Structure 1
Amino acid sequence: MAADTRNTLTGHPGVRGPYGPDADADTHAPRTAVPAPEPVPLPDAAGPRGVPDRLTAHGCWYPSADPGGDRAAFVCDRGGVPQLWTGPADALAGEGEARLLDSDPDPVKEVSWSPDGRWIAYTTAPGGGEHTRVLCVRPDGGGRRILAGAEPGSSAYLGRWRPDGTALAVTVAAPPDSPAAPPDGTGPAGASRPPGWTGRDGRAVLLGGPDGELAAYLVDPEGGSAPALLAVEYGAATLRVCDLDDDGRLALLRRGPRGRREALVVRQTDLRTTCVLPVADGDPWIGGFGPGGRTVWLRSDNGREYAALLAVALDADGAPVGTTVAAGRAECELEHLALGRDRRTAQLAWNVRGASELETVPLSGAVPAPGTAPAAVPAPAAGPSRPVPLPHEVVTRIAPAGPGGWLLALSGSRRRPGVWWLPRDGSPLRTAWSSRDEDAVPPPRPPVKPVPLRPVARDGLPLQGWYYRAPGRAPTEPAPCVIHLHGGPEEQERPVFNPLYHEILGRGLDVFAPDVRGSAGHGRTFTDADLGAGRFAAIDDVADCAAHAVAEGPADLSRLAVMGRSYGGYLTMAALVRHPDLFRTGVAVCGMSDFAAFFAGTEPWIAQSAVHKYGHPERDRELLRALSPMSRIDALRAPVLAVHGEHDTNVPPGESERFVRAARERGVPAELLTLRDEGHEFLRAENRRLFRRLTADWLERHLSPG
């Protein structure tokens, strides 16, 4: 389990653990690093106590509790955009105690309450784009400040708090003109580049050059001490500080591109990497330390088809002395792992064919006395589990809440996302500030519960999907049907309430949402089945799923549409040009139309991560050209609607603009909807409503009889 260099794609020698080619040979400390973040005070933006302009149907998610488990900080979109709120964690408390802590319109992504209760840290996306910054605020709404990510062009990501609450780990991605990233021919020296895809120079740039540095720091929110460097990564797509041990000796980090994630144990004293182990994709919070820092609990698929709970025993220096599978299942994966505040209890959420199963398990692992021989230390293990009944189908996050209690973020096929309080040895109870299940949608039409379908690809690979039947149709009556494709490609279609589906179903159109090869939740072999040239088979999976919807849905063969977002938008365009006579129309949302242009315009760390999935922009140029929908644009027959956020730096808006322009030049009807103040995800209520309405209008118009 020694550190290696397999995540480095740019050919730079000497990358070792969290250090780069410029590391000092004796100390292994990096000679340059991303400049330490400087806190920036902000004016108070707390909202009034109580619930302003309550929305009947709203979502609450990403909870984090205060040390006593009495109150929760969470993300809520009841004001029209995801914002930071607090409210009582006890499900029996009243809704009126909820409070808006940050009224700024920048969408909030993640939330973390400090262990000492003095601060709430959270990430925001300025302008709705892809660059993020880390802020903190007092629980009463005062002291708001930016901790990291204030520099133009930079991004910052939330890590774990130090157990005593005196410092927060953050990861900073250097802006292109950072002094720590001198030019190497891929960009002008000292050039000022504003955030946004339009500043890219048009060439395929992977990490390792001027954009190739990620650094993790411990930052004091009080500003009383200077930031302390934890790790530097050169040529890494991601770097997240997932845990810090109680004694301040060790840090647990996650790094690497999609499909090649790794857990690192780093000694905080000398920044040496002591352990490297592959871990699963998905939730970035991969695990944590046991008491005394002598055990690391990880959600890992190392050597396995499905992710399981691994226990790694460490010696006094943080080096591994043994690894065991503490809990695993043969046909499903561990999707979420959360450790209790005492580090002796865990919640395990298993992904069982798209739905969640939750269980509480006790964790054992002796805390050895100094000088104890490794052989004398009992192996860590998980005890007998206790199943937890769930009122919703899917768990999206688990957070400890006081002595033995937990907060659960749940979603369901007929319910808005909400937060539930799980007491010790009890059943989940809905928090009063979460939307009630009966308020998911206005009456009289309730949400539709999907049924599972099991298509089989033309090469024999079993697939899976969820079919939504429009209300009011006879069971066997053929219906117009929209094949909806998720993003990722390593996302998974889950049985959760989707307002877009609700809008489409209300127009009398069915929806079939499949998992084609490359999706998560079905094992490592299935997720990797679309790598490289396997993507041609993934495109054919779309056609095979449509055929299955006709045979089993029952969908009307003459009235099929295809649509999707992100990678699903790419698949939509690819399916339209490779199966031009199958679909009557398509809606491509934030999709890639030309891989060469995508690699040239996307964020460098996204390009780095995408190489493993799609191919290298230089070495695999011909393959990427053949996979690009633009290479077969002459075959396009069906009208297409493209939708994009104006601030999308993940998939630049030019990808949609290019496809629409080429379609029009060939006489194919095509329209482009650009959503203002949005990035790769659409987060503002007014834009989401506009998107749903115009999309449903387009599909209804083109799938009408005749």
Structure 2
Amino acid sequence: MPDTAGAYYGVARFLAVEHVDSPAFTPAGRLLFLAYTSGTPQVWTVDEPGAWPTRLTPHEERASALSASPADESFVYAMDRGSDERDQLLHYDLATGVERALTDDPESKHAWGAWGPDGDCVAYTANREADGRFDVYVQEVGGVDGDGTVTSAGDPERVYEGPGGWLNVAAFGPEGRRIVLTKAHSSSDEDLTLLDLESGETTNLSDDSEATYSHVHFDGDGGLLCVTNRDSDTAYVARLSLSDGSVTPVAGHDVTADATGEPGTDEWDVDGLAFDRDTGRIAYTVNEGGYSSLSTGTLAGDREDPRFDPTPTPDVDGIAADLVFGPEAGRLAYTHTSPTTPYGVRTCGFADRDGDGVDATGTATDWTPVGRNGLPDSAFHAPETVRYETFDGRAIPAYWTLPPGVDADDPDERVPAIVDIHGGPEHQRRPWFYPTKQYFLNRGYAVLEPNVRGSSGYGTAYSHLDDVEKRMDSVADIAAGVEWLAEQPSVDDDRIVAYGRSYGGFMVLAAITEYPDLWAAAVDFVGIADFTTFLENTGEWRRSHREAEYGSLDDDYEFLKSISPLTSIEEVRCPLFVQHGANDPRVPVGEAEQVAEAVREQGVPVETLIFEDEGHHTTSRENLIAEFEAIADFLDEHV
């Protein structure tokens, strides 16, 4: 099915478009980043904008969690095996190229945390002692002496036994004796705890209210700078006192207003923050309906009344994430993308205290121009932001993209449409560069990407609208989206595809069982077929976190069974494609196996693709190409 403009490109062309993210600065100002050039993310570096990059890590498995030392030219990164998410931590010395494993416990998951202030140690959490409990470890990193002698890393020292479930190191204190921890009870509720490494004592910095805390930085003056939504529907930049846990707003919206972030309002979440303690320089991003606005400035005022003094800031024109300052905060780097711009790293410079500096006018530079594999600009298409009304009158935000050459008002050019449902559910589809979406547009499919109730990015109240007994209301929002599609003159409502990953895979399976007459075909990636078997078999450390969203096995078993797609699987009428990874620790592969078998028993066409060397995400480019070529053939046959 070539696109209506006549130019057809295979999926390999789109999947090979470069992807660069996760910038990090060394003390000497060298920029490090993750790039997918070799087919899996590896650590690369480049000396100046647009220069030829140098690959540093040599592996076939994916690298992640890149963090540069604050004291020398080295970095730590994480790497798993077969996408199993059991990350190990490795240390890399840039002067010698010597790479050493800090951890070697492949049955445990090591979650990167933070460097110690002197660069001699790192702090992280791991479930080394019990699968369902993450503890805090501090470990000497060793290094390479001036004569080239390699100093081995120290043994991990457990400094705190976690309470059970997910635990994360958020920040390491500037004096080297305190660590801030975040403990997630759910996606919308976290504890913030101060751990004293000398005494082992902990201090709870969060109150009893539901709130989240992220992008945590010690301010060096008895407080933390962070992004939080405490006492607010949307998130803002705040200073949190280490003495009494009180919160003072610094930047973002007016938290004293009786406001909501629900679709149709102008209250938005702050979703990113960088802070340099020595200069007081701040940068933060606001998620405005999926697009980013970037603000930079300086933290001014006294500790009791901090305020944000803005400076000239570049327009983002898309989405900015992973904000990080370079040495002396003279430069800010961030990951940038837009619907038609592949992921890359941009930087902007600032004047120093004497008024000098590079790019001090608030302009941005593409530090890693991203290759497009020979694809022309005309191969990439931006969406329109729309809202459609659902069953209770609520407006559901969505991104809507027609394939090239299609007139939205011409009923003679009716095209098939994919309803692409995001995972999470506490997640948000944003207008980032999405190569497989561009591939399907190129093949002549329109794409609707809804942010149904339960999505993040629109305030806490909106994210709770699908909790537990309200779960199926979000599925009804999908059905309302199909009704909206039927009103579009250019859409063939007999050729609508349900398509989603992870929790979005559950939404696909729920949509084709609850509203079976709406769909011509469905594509389920790593989806939940039965909430009870999913919760029984998911990683032990994740179970309580997921039960807070979906309901618990002890209290809600019958309800969870009743809303599970597998319970109503006899309703499925459309052909189904099921993809999964055998190493998936989040949604075990048994979910795919049981739904495929049950649908097949109904006499409905089913195609399965299970990768033995993948997990929750397909990370190998070779596997991705095979995956989407198979999906395209499946849709060509049935749609």
The interval holding the TM-score normalised by the smaller chain is: 0.7 to 0.9
Cα separation, 2, equivalents of 1:141 and 1:569: 45
CA contact (8 A) 1:167 1:221 kept: yes
Map residues 421-460 of structure 1 onto 2, 5 A cutoff.
421-424=347-350, 425-436=360-371, 439=372, 442-443=375-376, 445-460=378-393
**Residues 396, 667 of structure 1: alpha-carbon distance in 2 compared, 3 angstrom cutoff:** same
**Residues 690, 277 of structure 1: alpha-carbon distance in 2 compared, 3 angstrom cutoff:** same
Is 1:164 matched up with 2:118? yes
- Select the residue among 340, 343, 351 that pairs with 1:414: 340
**Residues 640, 441 of structure 1: alpha-carbon distance in 2 compared, 3 angstrom cutoff:** farther
Cα separation, 2, equivalents of 1:552 and 1:155: 47
- Select the residue among 71, 76, 93 that pairs with 1:116: 71
CA contact (8 A) 2:214 2:228 kept: no
Q: What is the Cα deviation at residue 341 of structure 1? A: 5.1
- Select the residue among 259, 262, 278 that pairs with 2:191: 262
**Residues 441, 546 of structure 1: alpha-carbon distance in 2 compared, 3 angstrom cutoff:** farther
Q: Give 1:449's aligned amino acid.
A: A
Q: What is the Cα deviation at residue 64 of structure 1? A: 0.6
- Select the residue among 185, 191, 215 that pairs with 2:135: 215
Structure 2, unmatched stretches of 5+, are 1-14, 143-151, 254-258, 260-266, 351-359
**Residues 399, 653 of structure 1: alpha-carbon distance in 2 compared, 3 angstrom cutoff:** same
**Residues 432, 56 of structure 1: alpha-carbon distance in 2 compared, 3 angstrom cutoff:** farther
CA contact (8 A) 2:312 2:362 kept: no
Q: CA RMSD in A?
A: 2.1
- Select the residue among 470, 474, 478 that pairs with 2:407: 474
CA contact (8 A) 1:291 1:344 kept: no
Is 1:95 matched up with 2:20? no
Map residues 239-254 of structure 1 onto 2, 5 A cutoff.
239-254=167-182
Map residues 514-525 of structure 1 onto 2, 5 A cutoff.
514-525=450-461
1:650 paired residue number = 586
Is 1:398 matched up with 2:323? yes
Cα separation, 2, equivalents of 1:428 and 1:626: 55
1:271 paired residue number = 200
CA contact (8 A) 1:254 1:286 kept: no
- Select the residue among 438, 446, 451 that pairs with 1:510: 446
Cα separation, 2, equivalents of 1:567 and 1:145: 37
> Alignment partner of 2:40: what SS?
coil
> Alignment partner of 1:620: what SS?
helix
CA contact (8 A) 1:101 1:141 kept: no
Q: Deviations over 1:579-604 (max 9, x none)?
A: 01011110000001011111122111
1:151 paired residue number = 105
Map residues 35-54 of structure 1 onto 2, 5 A cutoff.
none
Is 1:563 matched up with 2:487? no
- Select the residue among 679, 687, 696 that pairs with 2:632: 696
Cα separation, 2, equivalents of 1:281 and 1:442: 44
Is 1:131 matched up with 2:56? no
CA contact (8 A) 2:408 2:488 kept: no
CA contact (8 A) 2:102 2:153 kept: no
1:307 paired residue number = 235
> Alignment partner of 2:595: what SS?
helix
Cα separation, 2, equivalents of 1:448 and 1:280: 39
**Residues 341, 582 of structure 1: alpha-carbon distance in 2 compared, 3 angstrom cutoff:** same
> Alignment partner of 2:346: what SS?
strand
Is 1:67 matched up with 2:21? no
Q: Give 1:171's aligned amino acid.
A: T
CA contact (8 A) 1:136 1:145 kept: yes
Cα separation, 1, equivalents of 2:16 and 2:618: 20
**Residues 354, 669 of structure 1: alpha-carbon distance in 2 compared, 3 angstrom cutoff:** same
**Residues 86, 153 of structure 1: alpha-carbon distance in 2 compared, 3 angstrom cutoff:** same
Cα separation, 1, equivalents of 2:501 and 2:461: 24
**Residues 441, 272 of structure 1: alpha-carbon distance in 2 compared, 3 angstrom cutoff:** farther
Q: What is the Cα deviation at residue 280 of structure 1? A: 8.9
CA contact (8 A) 1:341 1:400 kept: no
Larger deviation, residues 379-388 vs 458-467: 379-388
**Residues 538, 321 of structure 1: alpha-carbon distance in 2 compared, 3 angstrom cutoff:** closer
Cα separation, 2, equivalents of 1:553 and 1:430: 42
Map residues 482-493 of structure 1 onto 2, 5 A cutoff.
482-493=418-429
1:231 paired residue number = 160
1:199 paired residue number = none
CA contact (8 A) 2:27 2:73 kept: no
Cα separation, 2, equivalents of 1:481 and 1:608: 37
1:36 paired residue number = none
1:383 paired residue number = 308
- Select the residue among 60, 72, 95 that pairs with 1:105: 60
- Select the residue among 240, 246, 250 that pairs with 1:322: 246
Q: What is the Cα deviation at residue 212 of structure 1? A: 3.0
User: Kindly, what percent of the aligned residue pairs are identical?
Assistant: 27
CA contact (8 A) 1:565 1:591 kept: yes
Q: Give 2:202's aligned amino acid.
A: T
**Residues 120, 99 of structure 1: alpha-carbon distance in 2 compared, 3 angstrom cutoff:** same
Q: What is the Cα deviation at residue 554 of structure 1? A: 4.6
**Residues 285, 79 of structure 1: alpha-carbon distance in 2 compared, 3 angstrom cutoff:** farther
Cα separation, 2, equivalents of 1:351 and 1:609: 25
> Alignment partner of 2:487: what SS?
helix
- Select the residue among 395, 401, 408 that pairs with 1:462: 395
Q: Give 1:668's aligned amino acid.
A: V
Q: Give 1:303's aligned amino acid.
A: D
Cα separation, 1, equivalents of 2:424 and 2:621: 23
Q: What is the Cα deviation at residue 555 of structure 1? A: 2.6
**Residues 535, 505 of structure 1: alpha-carbon distance in 2 compared, 3 angstrom cutoff:** same
Cα separation, 2, equivalents of 1:547 and 1:514: 13
Cα separation, 2, equivalents of 1:429 and 1:364: 24
CA contact (8 A) 2:269 2:286 kept: yes
CA contact (8 A) 2:88 2:106 kept: no
Cα separation, 1, equivalents of 2:245 and 2:616: 43
> Alignment partner of 2:284: what SS?
strand
CA contact (8 A) 2:26 2:74 kept: no
1:82 paired residue number = 41
Q: What is the Cα deviation at residue 115 of structure 1? A: 0.4
1:548 paired residue number = 484
TM-score (norm 1): 0.80
Q: What is the Cα deviation at residue 392 of structure 1? A: 4.0
> Alignment partner of 2:200: what SS?
coil
**Residues 451, 261 of structure 1: alpha-carbon distance in 2 compared, 3 angstrom cutoff:** same
Q: Deviations over 1:608-656 (max 9, x none)?
A: 2101110101211011101110000011111100011221111111111
Question: Whose strand fraction is larger, Structure 1's or Structure 2's?
Answer: 2
Cα separation, 1, equivalents of 2:539 and 2:408: 47
Cα separation, 2, equivalents of 1:380 and 1:265: 22
TM-score (norm 2): 0.88
Q: What is the Cα deviation at residue 575 of structure 1? A: 0.3
CA contact (8 A) 1:337 1:347 kept: yes
CA contact (8 A) 1:363 1:380 kept: no
Q: Deviations over 1:416-467 (max 9, x none)?
A: 100011111334544454305xx37613742011001101220122211101
Q: What is the Cα deviation at residue 488 of structure 1? A: 0.7
CA contact (8 A) 1:503 1:696 kept: no
